[in-house]
Structure 1
Amino acid sequence: MHAVAGLLRGAAELEVTPRGVRPHRLPAWVGEQFPDGQLQSMESQPSGVRINLLTTASTIELVTHPTRIAYTGVDRPRGRIDVYADGELLVRDVLDGGDRIEVDLATGTTAFHPGEPHTTTITGLPPGRRRFEIWLPHNESVEVIGLRADAPIEPDDTPRPLWVHHGSSISQGSNAVAPSEIWPAVAARRAGVELRNLGFGGSALVDPFMARVIRDAPADFISVKLGINVVNLDSMRLRTFVPAVHGFLDTIREGHPGVPLILISPLFCGIHEETPGPGAIDPSSIGTGKVRFTATGTPGDVTLGRLTLQVIRRELASLAERRSADKNLHFLQGTSLYGETDAAELPLPDDLHPGPEAHERIGVRFADYAFNGPFQRRRGHP
């Protein structure tokens, strides 16, 4: 059984467990400083984390133990493991087994159901040395128990530019089918760069500690997508939001003064375009098998500085203009990645998160914009 610690990419730290190692996307000090259950759950789901290796093996087996959150009566697809060989998708393996934490939305009760490990098998490979990239699930936590192969395994240390991206559940991959098909993964694969995904469901809240994580992380380019979770949680008013974003960017610049940085405003989301939060699960969807979301604020009410997506887009554009002395700061309206026309063609399945085709479209559009524009001048630099 091969040790995997030296093969993992895109994780901040590895937690040693009785079974193996669990990748974490945030350093432990964040949880010690602010032990928020939502954030801790999301950061332990290895969205964007890969196992990179070189081998001549004809058979490879990866053993993992998944842990997932399930909702009683709700159909939620299982996580997947994607295996690429020399850049081509070879295996897409749907997880089974593992532990299940089941939440009853009607009663609020939680039950734990233990399960067995899962084995992903790649076999029948023809002779030759290949570069493998194994994408871990974006929507389930996993403990990596071990890696077996019938030939020696080496780390793939091919230098590639590093892109650090921070965003919400959309960036983590909600409603995407597979880990290599979340929009940041689509963009990273298209551009040939290494991804560190700091997209966290419900947790892109302009937190100072997140800015410090980005400040201290190696990065050749950085993007931050802010706004939707602030509206979802109804966590700020205009007076606090704008200074908080300034402070967030100032902190990043302490560690990366000249790195190209793209500030992205929210994608189109009809329920929150003109209606403040908080967001909530639509009660009428409970028991239907498909959760949908709704905005509970008053449509059109932006008094007392209440925030909608339209207000946030306006204010982020103004903020970026006032920071024009920073020639490496670039502003991208999220509606250019997924706008109202896109929503008519590819509706949000749950009224909040894009579906698989929309993730592909967003990733392609971002890659074409960023890596042929703001990020282009640093391409090819390790």
Structure 2
Amino acid sequence: MRAAHDWITTPITADRLRGALDLEHTERGVLPHRLPAQARRQIPDGQLAMAESQPAGVRLAFRTRATAVELDVVATKRVYVGAPPRPDGVYELLVDGRLAGRAVAPEGDTLIIDMGAGTAQTRPGPVETLRFTDLPDHEKDVEIWLPHDETTRLVALRTNAPADPPTADGRRVWVHHGSSISHGSDAATPTGTWPAVAAALGSVELVNLGFGGSALLDPFTARAIRDTPADLISVKIGINLVNADVMRLRAFGPAVHGFLDTIREGHPTAPLLVVSPIHCAIHEHTPGPSALDLAAMSEGRLSFVATGDPAETAAGRLTLSVIRDELARIVSERAATDPNLHHLGGLDLYGAADDAELPLPDALHPDPATHRRIGERFARLAFGAGGPFAAETDR
């Protein structure tokens, strides 16, 4: 048995990270990014800059006989003025794909966000040490999944046996892009986000490019997908375009075509799945923008309302029902010359009946049970027999 104090420090390098597209070296450790540097230089707002630095689906991976692991981190805690405190981000350690430990970093940098005033300020905090002990004493694959919604600098990795780079397992790589729902908002753990659930069931390597508030058909995101090695690709489009109210129907169709065209430049034949929005009652037939529900805020709850006028859909304002129809039409037309392009209706993942049973707590985001339901349904419809992502033997 190895003594836990016989520590070996292993540099945290890109070859030990999965799910990140870039690794930034800072004065306080390395910061995984889910968009490359070129894309980050084109980010127009702080929301996306924050979202892409939150390591949804990013995990530190290595092979080792270690029975004890320590990870030093600087977490960034978000505080929203007037909103209930957010739970600490969760770190999950998996051994050969099975959960073997969880930890949190209770302190760290603090980002104070005033959504009403549109301001944000950062207060620096300490480095925290996470410890995982009593791991099996044999060669094993270890993954530490980072908090999906908490920006995390990785300062140092220590183990009581050598930590080698992970071995290639031959699994297909699935790149997924979407909104905060894909990012994992309101999921309790990083492996509990619906893309992580689906990836585990589908036995694929996940690259999660879900960005809270920022699935807006940005060209730099399409280029990032184009340039990322992938066997399978999905793009979930709709809710942010409505709740940010950034586009009209005239611009929407060409923007979708351009986004898909760019992806196809790098992945001309990979299975590409376009997923329409899940059910969201406030925006089914009412345009955005979304706004904070002030009545809920006065009660200490975070919730949202739609502020648009349903009558303006005739003039091109977008709703979820409008977007679903348009995406189905676009995919149907393009599939005539692109046999590897597919469509999945979001209501098949979470529809009105699901909303009656498992309502969205803040009117926009699924709770942990709903994340699991969506992930299981996506796995069945996409990775299951006859699905667009099914293995060759299941087709």
TM-score bracket, normalised by the shorter chain, equals over 0.9
| Counterpart-to-counterpart distance in 1, 2:42 and 2:118 | 27
Q: Is the 8 A contact 1:276 1:297 kept in 2?
A: yes
RMSD: 1.5
Residue 376 (1) aligns with residue 393 (2):
no
Counterpart secondary structure, 1:302: helix
1:55 to 64, 87, 91: 64
Please report how far the alpha carbon of residue 106 of structure 1 lies from its aligned counterpart in structure 2 after TM superposition: 5.2
Please report how far the alpha carbon of residue 359 of structure 1 lies from its aligned counterpart in structure 2 after TM superposition: 0.3
Q: In the alignment, what sits opposite 2:103?
A: 93
| Counterpart-to-counterpart distance in 1, 2:362 and 2:355 | 12
| Counterpart-to-counterpart distance in 2, 1:26 and 1:107 | 27
Q: In the alignment, what sits opposite 1:3?
A: 11
Provide the TM-score with structure 2 as the length reference.
Answer: 0.93
Counterpart secondary structure, 1:144: strand
CA deviation profile, 1:334-372 (whole Å, cap 9, x unmatched): 010011111111110100001100000101111111112
1:351 to 344, 353, 363: 363
**Of 366-375 and 139-148, the range deviating more from structure 2:** 366-375
Q: In the alignment, what sits opposite 2:346?
A: 334
1:257 to 268, 275, 294: 268
Q: Is the 8 A contact 1:105 1:286 kept in 2?
A: no
Counterpart secondary structure, 2:226: helix
**Which amino acid in the other structure matches residue 44 of structure 1?**
S
1:188 to 188, 191, 199: 199
Residue 46 (1) aligns with residue 55 (2):
yes
Q: In the alignment, what sits opposite 1:218?
A: 229
**Which amino acid in the other structure matches residue 263 of structure 2?**
I
| Counterpart-to-counterpart distance in 1, 2:120 and 2:327 | 39
Residue 294 (1) aligns with residue 308 (2):
no
Counterpart secondary structure, 2:10: coil
Q: In the alignment, what sits opposite 2:40?
A: 31
Residue 156 (1) aligns with residue 166 (2):
yes
Q: CA 1:100–1:193 in 2, change beyond 3 Å: closer, same or farther?
A: same
Please report how far the alpha carbon of residue 72 of structure 1 lies from its aligned counterpart in structure 2 after TM superposition: 2.8
1:238 to 244, 249, 253: 249
2:113 to 103, 111, 118: 103
Please report how far the alpha carbon of residue 34 of structure 1 lies from its aligned counterpart in structure 2 after TM superposition: 3.2
**Which amino acid in the other structure matches residue 137 of structure 2?**
P
| Counterpart-to-counterpart distance in 2, 1:344 and 1:180 | 25
Percent of residue pairs identical: 54
Q: In the alignment, what sits opposite 2:6?
A: none
Counterpart secondary structure, 1:323: helix
**Of 292-301 and 15-24, the range deviating more from structure 2:** 292-301
Please report how far the alpha carbon of residue 35 of structure 1 lies from its aligned counterpart in structure 2 after TM superposition: 3.8
| Counterpart-to-counterpart distance in 1, 2:120 and 2:145 | 29
Please report how far the alpha carbon of residue 288 of structure 1 lies from its aligned counterpart in structure 2 after TM superposition: 3.0
CA deviation profile, 1:224-265 (whole Å, cap 9, x unmatched): 000100001111111110111011111111111110010000
| Counterpart-to-counterpart distance in 1, 2:29 and 2:182 | 27
| Counterpart-to-counterpart distance in 2, 1:370 and 1:198 | 18
Q: Is the 8 A contact 1:239 1:305 kept in 2?
A: yes
Please report how far the alpha carbon of residue 112 of structure 1 lies from its aligned counterpart in structure 2 after TM superposition: 3.1
Q: CA 1:348–1:155 in 2, change beyond 3 Å: closer, same or farther?
A: same
2:148 to 138, 150, 163: 138
**Of 66-75 and 230-239, the range deviating more from structure 2:** 66-75
Structure 2 segments unaligned to the other structure (5+ residues): 1-8
Please report how far the alpha carbon of residue 376 of structure 1 lies from its aligned counterpart in structure 2 after TM superposition: 1.5
Structure 1 segments unaligned to the other structure (5+ residues): none
Please report how far the alpha carbon of residue 303 of structure 1 lies from its aligned counterpart in structure 2 after TM superposition: 1.9
